[in-house]
């Protein structure tokens, strides 16, 4: 026991705004070096959710007045019934899908555009990129991925559903790099560029690629800002996987992070006792669109 370890802060849970669904578990068609949950073709630590598991969680969240839904993984488009699930959610509210884009061919892009048009609610695709050249991106996401991602972004834009590009700050966003990103997007036919820059989370493979957390990088009682509950993913959101309910998308492989079987039992305050919580607080890590 570390008897002198100061207590971590307790975060209240004012309401459920965001439901995250790890529809394909940790199954991914890439093995990015900075992936904070070590996803890949051989990681089944969280299995694919059945469609019933997804729709049950969605229905339960609707009962609690949830506002928005997120599909994540792994790679959500590896789910065999992904388009049915997208349609199901879009009848009930707005949906964002975090994808690496690789499985979005022209036909799929068209079908997604039709699903988006048929709903009164927004469908946002978020595609990640780690640089504006293959030389920057491919060492992290895998050889040849830059071309494939840009291809997917271009197809989505052509179909009328231009994605949001999430750029993990492995390549720092500076005044100098920004115009290059803009140029890249306009070459891909994106006239309404949407960019998000995210700091790295030092877990999973990222901990080995760069560095893990230092011992003092943890939160203690009193660290939280007054309105921080509204910007942290765990403040007004919950993550559901095939294995149960977790406070956020970041901690699904963390020891003791699992909260409950059902959403109803997880809408409670939590202690921010994990070192990843330090990134959320100190570096403004944000998961939402």
Partner 1 sequence: MPHLNPDHAPPRRIVVFGGVYNNHLSLAATLAEAERRGADEIYCLGDMGGFGPRPDKVFPLLQRAGVRCMQGNYDHSIGNRLEDCACGYTDPRDNHFARISYDYTLARTSDANKDWLRALPTGFRHTWNGRQVVMAHGSTRRTNEFLWASTSPDHFLEHLLRDAEADLLLVTHTGIPWSRTLPSGRTVINVGAIGRPANDGNLNVWAVEIDLTTPSDIRHRFLPISYDHAALADEMRDEQLPEEFVATILTGWWTTCLEILPAKERALGRF
Binding site for partner 1 (CB under 8 A): 14-15, 62, 64-68, 92-94, 116, 120-124, 160-161, 173, 175, 178, 191-192, 194-197, 230-231, 286, 289
Q: Which residues contact 214 (CB under 8 A, 6 or more apart)?
A: none
Which listed option, partner 1, ligand SF4, none, makes contact with residue 272 (CB within 5 to 8 Å by class)?
ligand SF4
The yes or no reply on residue 124 touching ligand SF4 (CB under 6 A) is no
Q: Are 245 and 259 in contact (CB under 8 A)?
A: yes
What is the torsional sign of CA 96, 47, 104, 179?
A: positive
Residue 82: Cβ-neighbour burial (10 angstroms; 0-12, 13-18, 19+): buried
User: 3-state class of 271 per DSSP?
Assistant: strand
**Dist. CA 177–CA 132, nearest whole Å:** 8
Binds ligand SF4 (CB under 6 A): choice among 125, 250, 252, 263? 250
The yes or no reply on residue 31 touching ligand SF4 (CB under 6 A) is yes
Number of shown-chain residues binding ligand SF4 (CB under 6 A): 23
**Dist. CA 128–CA 142, nearest whole Å:** 13
The yes or no reply on residue 247 touching ligand SF4 (CB under 6 A) is yes
Q: Give the shortest CB-178-to-partner 1 separation in angstroms.
A: 6
Pairing mode, strands 244-246 and 237-241: antiparallel
**Dist. CA 241–CA 232, nearest whole Å:** 19
For 180, which DSSP code? H
For 254, which DSSP code? S
Which listed option, partner 1, ligand SF4, none, makes contact with residue 74 (CB within 5 to 8 Å by class)?
ligand SF4
Residues in the chain: 289
Q: Give the shortest CB-179-to-ligand SF4 separation in angstroms.
A: 26
Q: Are 199 and 279 in contact (CB under 8 A)?
A: yes
Q: Give the shortest CB-251-to-ligand SF4 separation in angstroms.
A: 5
Whether the bond between 74 and the residue before it is cis, its omega within 30 degrees of 0, is yes
Which listed option, ligand SF4, partner 1, none, makes contact with residue 124 (CB within 5 to 8 Å by class)?
partner 1
- Binding mask 143-182 toward ligand SF4 (x if CB under 6 A, else -) reads ----------------------------------------
Q: Give the shortest CB-211-to-ligand SF4 separation in angstroms.
A: 17
- Binding mask 267-286 toward ligand SF4 (x if CB under 6 A, else -) reads -----x-x-xx--x------
The yes or no reply on residue 76 touching ligand SF4 (CB under 6 A) is no
Which residue is listed with tokens 């993550």? Answer: 239
The yes or no reply on residue 251 touching ligand SF4 (CB under 6 A) is yes
* Residues at the interface with ligand SF4 (CB under 6 A): 28, 30-32, 35, 39-40, 73-75, 100, 232-234, 247-248, 250-251, 272, 274, 276-277, 280
């Amino acid at each position: 026991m570390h008897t002198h370890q100061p207590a971590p802060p307790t975060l209240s849970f004012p309401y459920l705004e965001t439901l995250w669904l790890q529809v394909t578990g940790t199954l991914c068609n890439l093995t990015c070096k900075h992936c904070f949950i070590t996803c890949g073709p051989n990681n089944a630590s969280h299995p694919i959710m059945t469609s019933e598991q997804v729709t049950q969680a969605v229905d339960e969240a609707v009962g609690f007045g949830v506002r928005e839904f997120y599909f994540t993984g792994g790679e959500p488009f590896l789910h065999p019934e992904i388009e049915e699930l997208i349609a199901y959610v879009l009848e009930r509210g707005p949906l964002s899908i975090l994808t690496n884009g690789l499985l979005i061919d022209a036909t799929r892009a068209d079908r997604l555009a039709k699903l988006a048009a048929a709903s009164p609610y927004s469908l946002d695709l978020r595609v990640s990129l780690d640089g504006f050249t293959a030389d920057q991106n491919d060492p992290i996401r895998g050889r040849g991925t830059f071309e494939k991602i840009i291809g997917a972004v271009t197809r989505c834009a052509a179909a009328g559903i231009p994605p949001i590009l999430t750029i993990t700050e492995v390549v720092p966003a500076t005044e100098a790099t920004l115009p290059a990103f803009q140029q890249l997007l306009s070459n891909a036919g994106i006239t309404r560029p949407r960019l998000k820059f995210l700091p790295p989370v030092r877990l999973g493979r990222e901990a080995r690629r760069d560095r893990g957390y230092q011992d003092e990088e943890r939160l203690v009682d009193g660290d939280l800002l007054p309105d921080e509950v509204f910007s942290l993913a765990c403040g007004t959101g919950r993550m559901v996987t095939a294995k149960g309910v977790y406070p956020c998308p970041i901690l699904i492989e963390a020891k003791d992070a699992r909260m409950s079987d059902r959403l109803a039992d997880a809408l409670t305050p939590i202690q921010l006792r994990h070192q990843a919580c330090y990134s959320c607080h100190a570096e403004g890590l944000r998961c939402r669109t």
